[in-house]
């Protein structure tokens, strides 16, 4: 997985988080598969349709916080992740 301080897409702008579709019990195989990029100051009340229930691993950048909910529209249980 990339280090939290190194989260940058190909165009070089800063990212706050990367969500990955694939995970593994072996660390060197984590953070694989499709990737969903989360930009700074994003407020997304719904996951993109193709990502519903798919995120299995994530990396949150430095000076960022990612809050997720168990239900649509920011309802249900809430969990916050940071670097």
Whole-angstrom distance, CA of residue 78 vs CA of residue 7: 24
The span from the CA of 18 to the CA of 2, in Å, is: 9
* Residue-by-residue DSSP string for 29-62: G-SEEEEEEE-TT---SS--GGGTTT--EEEE-T
pLDDT in tens, 25-72: 677 777 888 889 998 888 888 888 888 788 888 899 998 999 998 888
As a whole number of angstroms, the distance between CA 59 and CA 76 comes to 23
- Indicate whether 15 pLDDT > 80: yes
Distance CA 79, CA 18 (A): 16
Check pLDDT > 90 for residue 10: no
- Tell me if the pTM is above 0.75: yes
């Amino acid at each position: 997985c990339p280090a939290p301080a190194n989260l940058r897409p190909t165009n070089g702008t800063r990212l706050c988080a990367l969500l990955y579709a694939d995970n593994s019990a072996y660390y060197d195989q984590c953070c694989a598969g499709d990737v969903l990029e989360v930009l700074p100051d994003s407020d997304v009340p719904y996951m993109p349709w193709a990502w519903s229930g798919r995120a299995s691993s994530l990396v949150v950048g430095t000076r960022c916080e990612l809050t997720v909910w168990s239900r649509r529209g920011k309802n249900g249980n809430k969990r916050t992740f940071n670097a």
